[in-house]
Amino acid sequence: MTIKEFSFDLPEHLIAQHPVHRRGEERLLVLTRGDGTIVDETMANFPAYLQAGSLLVLNDSKVRKARVYGTSEGGATVEFLFLEERVDHQWSVMTTKAKKQRVGKRFRFFDRGGTLIREAVITAELEDGTRTLSFTKMIDESFFATVGHVPLPPYIKREDTLADESRYQTIYAQREGSVASPTAGLHFTEEILGAIRGRGIEIAKVTLHVGPGTFLPVRTATLEEHPMHWERYEVPDACAARVTEAKRSGRPVVAVGTTTVRTLESAWDEEAKCLRPGAGRTNLFIKPGFHFHVVDQLLTNFHTPESTLVVLVSAFAGQQEIGSAYRHAVEHSYRFFSYGDAMFIR
């Protein structure tokens, strides 16, 4: 399949640059698989669309303030996106003007008051374009809290603000490690979660730390050629037991977000018919023809054209159905991408 099959026209004014005034006030497009029926709703009414006995699964990963600006020895400001910690105070990073950031180049990192916090040097250049940045001593979450910025995606054409520190985070985020928000979860409020529990619906959590691949378009001619990025995940024992029991009893499993889908489908043991607990890494690329073993329904956002995410939802709902739903969303001025509106595929 070619990636051009997953392209669509999107007016720029529909790309949400800010969240709605109050969390939970987003619009909700409800798409029924099979007949392609579309209903225009609001996120506040999402609980009413969940079947009794369903199991709702959330991704509790927390966004790190992973966008950090360093100063080179020549005084230039260079932007880094901190991806993953390695051994001996080393971090894998993406950087602007990567070809200029060669091995041996040194950087200093200052807080907002101009105090020097850390020094580092580039010690490796990898084939995927990332760099290894080695620090003189360990950095922890306080480093990011002091010098970091919210890693808003590139289609949000503004600098991050104090408000983004809370709004680009789900209310149930617990485990720090993502460089992008699992955005389907941004729509939830305590009231909505309370209404879901009030209907007797169980809620379970997994963790998948969202990597930079969520920003990247597919640049290969065919889907089969695309090198899917790796991401770390963890399935707690309690979640594995609940999902396994739900599947064995025929109750619907509802995934909140594509990250949750990839975690559940990656951790599923088809031979044993159970979800395996524990930590792992996945580069699962879900595309049309994929057999979903775990997920029955999906709450998600509207995704970028020619991305692995729009391919995933097309695999789940059908290409024609997603095409029709996206055209409807454009015609009815739904807001797209991270701070946009939601879609429930049932």
Condensed to tens digits (0 to 9), the pLDDT of residues 187-202 reads 999 999 999 999 999 9
Q: What amino acid occupies position 240? A: A
pLDDT digits (tens, 9 = 90+) for 271-327: 999 999 999 999 999 999 999 999 999 999 999 999 999 999 999 999 999 999 999
Amino acid sitting at position 287: K
Residue 255 confidence (pLDDT) above 90: yes
Domain ranges of the chain: 3-63+165-345, 67-149
* Token pair belonging to 335: 């807001």
- Full DSSP string of 154-207: TTS-S---TTHHHHTS-TT--EEEESS--GGGGG--HHHHHHHHHTT-EEEEEE
Please tell me if the domain spanning 3-63+165-345 has the same topology as the one spanning 67-149.
no
- Give the ranges where the chain is alpha helix by DSSP (H): 141-147, 164-167, 190-198, 237-249, 258-267, 308-317, 319-331
Q: How far apart are CA 157 and CA 15, in angstroms?
A: 10
Q: Which CATH class is domain 67-149?
A: mainly beta
Instruction: Judge contact between 267 and 295, C-beta under 8 A.
Output: no
Question: The domain 3-63+165-345: what is its CATH number?
Answer: 3.40.1780.10
Residue pair 206/239 in contact by the 8 Å Cβ criterion: yes
Model pTM?
0.95
- What is the predicted pLDDT for the residue at 319? 97
CA distances from 288 to 35, 95, 342 (A): 18, 33, 22
Measured from the Cβ of residue 225, the count of other Cβ atoms closer than 10 Å reads: 10
Contact 80, 70 (CB under 8 A): yes
Q: What is the mean pLDDT of residues 77-102?
A: 91
Q: Tell me the C-alpha distance between 128 and 213, whole Å.
A: 11
